Amino acid sequence: MASRVIKCLFLSIFCSLAVLQAHSQQYDSTAIPKDWHLKDPETDHVQGISAEKAYQTLLKGQPSRTVIVAIIDSGIDIDHEDLRSVIWTNEGEIPDNGIDDDNNGYIDDVHGWNFIGGKDGNVNQDTDELTRTYVKLKKQFEGVDEKKIPKKEREAYQDYLKVKGKFEKLLAKNKEQYELYHGLYQNVRASVDTLKALLMTDTLSQELVQGFESSEPNLLFAKGFVLNIYRNIGPDNSMEEFLSQLKEAADHFQQVVDYGYNENFDPRPIVGDNFSDPYEKGYGNNDVKGPDPMHGTHVAGIIAADRNNGIGIKGIADNVKVMSVRAVPNGDERDKDVANAILYAVDNGAQVINMSFGKSLSPRKEVVDKAVKYAMQKGVLLVQAAGNESENTDVEKNFPTRYYLDGSEAKAWLEVGASSWGADKDLVGSFSNYGKKSVDLFAPGVKIYSTLPHNEYKEMDGTSMASPVAAGVAAVIMSYFPRLSALEVREIIRQSTRKFDHLKTTLPGGGGEVEFSELSSTGGLVNLYEAIKLAQETQNKKLVK
């Protein structure tokens, strides 16, 4: 996940800044509501999903059933003030008695399961899949005379050379990024602290810095440096928050270098499984929070934060229970864990599974394919984040994927790109992956305000945020229209997307402009109000039959 999801979250300092600046002529960024993604485009003038409109009109007074949404992620803070009332509980399990009461193969799985933990603790950091592939091939080919390689191994040797080149390039790039952000943080921190001391204040502001006078070149440099930052982040934004984000970015790249691309790092012994057996089950522990549940908690809040408790935020779905299935470390998830996480969610009643993670290699794809096929057989909808590399996933590989090794595909699957709040050329998140074939639709994924561990809240960017928006919409439809199948819900969401005739948007990653309709197979934005209207029509037709 870190190489695909966390990367953009920590770079959101600059992703969000770029979008804010691009929208500055049309919007006052400080006026964008924190719940903009729930708002209605027509009445609220932001490109939200019309959730509040749907509840106030089409869904008002209507009966609903509880839907279980599994969140395969880094873990969830199940004690959060805005989530504890919506956390799934396994009624067949007696807490903490050390017995598998419901005979599902998992002891004390009261609120879900953790596939990256063991009896002695949890995996936090893990390596990138590229690193693991490189280590495996390096053992086979390092120091081998190319001329002596058997013919049947030459293709694998060429793969080794490609992987080695990519590994070394990315390691160097991430080291460079760490040095950049670490150096920038140190310089900003020193300048800010110096000005605070001279101005005798604990809180810096643009006005205070502007009024500071000095003839010392070093102090004038600090003044100019800090003022330039204020000009970019805006006078109403916090310098301390900016510093915090810079430090997060520096810490992230340090973690990538120290763990993600560290060929000598292997946390798997913590789990205690037989990793060579990709079909092994029953390993892990019941710690569904884990050591770093930030990402999963944010995702959970988008889908299901309590809409009726009068605190915090409102999730999209009003009658759901979220199941925490921990399988995603700070690093790339492993195919074995992803497969088991899907199987666990399906077997324990999940009707929707959100997967806000991804990677570019999948060495045991057949194992994941088998789990996805099982989910399809059981009528479960899978919702996947498209990824944050600004890439065309029709061309670049992104796993897990709806496409099986045999070329067929999972039908009850939604692939989701990230959008922003304004219907102009910056409608698409600058980081978002896209694909006319591989991506189904876009959903809000920029400046999404949601829950964080320890009863906190924060804005984040990423397709990781867009995916749970779509998953939340699916859960609402399933809740109010129980006769509809996962396939029907998927088609309703796709067919009801809002279209933008001939809208030109900036192509993620640069490279000019492109029609928004060319970035996904539907060419649209998810919208709950329109989806509910279509769901009503679809269910009525079924009742007539």
The answer for residues whose C-beta is within 8 angstroms of residue 187's C-beta and 6 or more apart is 225
Residue 54 in contact with residue 529, Cβ under 8 Å? Answer: yes
Q: State how far the Cα of 120 lies from the Cα of 72, in Å rounded to an integer.
A: 22
Q: State how far the Cα of 522 lies from the Cα of 509, in Å rounded to an integer.
A: 21
Token code pair at residue 181: 């952000």
Q: What is the CA radius of gyration of the chain?
A: 24
Buried b (16+ CB within 10 A) or exposed e, 322-341: bbbbbbbbbbbbbbbbbbbb
Q: State how far the Cα of 286 lies from the Cα of 280, in Å rounded to an integer.
A: 17
Query: Among the options 464, 467, 479, 496, which is catalytic?
Result: 464
Query: Among the options 12, 295, 419, 424, which is catalytic?
Result: 295
The answer for residues whose C-beta is within 8 angstroms of residue 239's C-beta and 6 or more apart is 192, 204, 226, 229, 230, 233
Token code pair at residue 299: 């995702």
Residue that is written with structure tokens 């993620």 in the block: 508
What is the Cβ-side half-sphere exposure of residue 339, based on CA atoms within 13 angstroms? 22
Residue 380 in contact with residue 354, Cβ under 8 Å? Answer: no
Q: Has 295 been annotated as catalytic? A: yes
Q: State how far the Cα of 329 lies from the Cα of 327, in Å rounded to an integer.
A: 7
Instruction: State the pairing for strand pair 441-444/413-419.
Output: parallel
Query: Among the options 193, 258, 277, 347, which is catalytic?
Result: 258
Q: State how far the Cα of 466 lies from the Cα of 450, in Å rounded to an integer.
A: 12
CA dihedral 423, 428, 434, 439 (to 10 degrees): -50
Token code pair at residue 438: 């591989």
Q: State how far the Cα of 536 lies from the Cα of 130, in Å rounded to an integer.
A: 46
E strand segments, 373-454: 381-385, 413-419, 441-444, 448-452
The set of catalytic residues is 258, 295, 464
